[in-house]
Amino acid sequence: MSFQIEYGDLTKYSADAIVIPANPDPIIGHGLDKVVYNMAGRDELLRERKAIGKLTFGDAELTSACNLKAKYIVHAISPAWIDGKHGEGELLRSCYNNILEKAYKEKCQSVVMPLLSTGILHYPREEALQIAIETCVEFTHKHPKMRVILVLYYSKGRSLIRAEQDIDQYMNDNCYAGLSDKEFKQKEKQWGDLPEYREEKMLLELMRRLYRVKQSDRHEYEKFKRNQDSSKRPFNSIGFTYQTSLERFDSYLNGGDYRKSFSQVFDEFKIKKKSGSDADVCRRAWVNQATLTHYRKEERNIQRDIIWAFAIALKLDLDETEELFNSCGMSIHGRYRLQDAEIKRETAIRYFIENKIYDMDKINSILYEKKILLLGNYGK
């Protein structure tokens, strides 16, 4: 992946070029700028910066990295936020472009940068992030050999602390329906040894193979419906909405919306939710647009985490998310085959959707704090 988004401390990265927000005048600024000067060697780096002279907003210039684990430091003059009507967006976009062009000219193969203009310059984080993603994705598409890492500072504000507390309780209640990991595994093994539950597991497996084997599965499905005992549904006790899955599978086999392809369902939701273009959705999902293009063409081997990312970007509720999963021959309820880490991750994502949290930066900030794999393939 040529472009990545990560959370962490930029000063701990090693790369050909490290970007810092700089003052237009050749002086040491505050925050990250000051930290990097101290780490690189204050006097030497300041001497090189003075040799460049005064810069204007949108500019970016390189010096040596002195004592840092890099070849260059890129001094970026990003704009402060006024009201959005003074060309701030154009200046910020120009700043990112200048950074990347200068680094490319010096044959840098890796660039690490912060999210510019946020913090003390008060640029709205969500808007600044979208500009950064758009610019970096466009540049790395033209120059795929350059690796660009956007490092986001994890700020634990009140809203995040509250969300983390809520999600802890939600995961405790929903991951294993109140069972400990050990109790859950004992129950799962017990159910797996009982013949009367094997066909119930078979149904959930069939839901993953709707398109390829629909006709051959019909016989097995009808057999299952004839023999099933409604009083024996162990999945309900560990959080599976088994009847909902059964009804959706039945609806698919007998026609209706569940015959629609992934592209059809995706486009319908994109129009319904007024989500803009494919590129707009991919930016909000933190998914490379080439991934979506590939899935539209192939419509197979679609990864579960990418579907979840699109559901977030499209602002779907859980029923709509289920429909998107069904179009790929999967279900949001098919968690019994997942590893523990995947179960926790998908439970967390369900929490975000149920609570209408669709800001990918906020979502991934919480996942990062919980040591859960980030959502979207920019974070990999």
Distance CA 22, CA 30 (A): 9
β 147-152/15-21 pair status? unpaired
Nearest Cα to 93, choosing from 127, 141, 144? 127
Nearest Cα to 102, choosing from 58, 51, 41? 58
| Active-site pick, 33, 59, 217, 305 | 33
Distance CA 202, CA 304 (A): 20
Query: Alpha carbon of 297 to those of 261, 301, 360, 370: distances in Å?
Result: 11, 11, 26, 35
Q: How many DSSP H helices and E strands does the chain contain?
A: 16, 6
Distance CA 301, CA 316 (A): 22
Distance CA 264, CA 261 (A): 5
Q: How far is CA 90 from the centre of its chain?
A: 26
Distance CA 266, CA 329 (A): 14
**If DSSP states are collapsed to H, E and C, what string results for 233-278?**
CHHHHHCCCHHHHHHHHHHHHCCCHHHCCHHHHHHHHHHHCCCCCH
Instruction: Give Cβ neighbours of residue 169 (< 8 Å, ≥ 6 apart).
Output: none
**Burial bucket for residue 82 (CB in 10 Å: 0-12, 13-18, 19+):** exposed
E-assigned strand segments in the chain: 3-7, 15-21, 60-64, 70-76, 110-114, 147-152
Active site residue 33: yes
Active-site residue set: 33
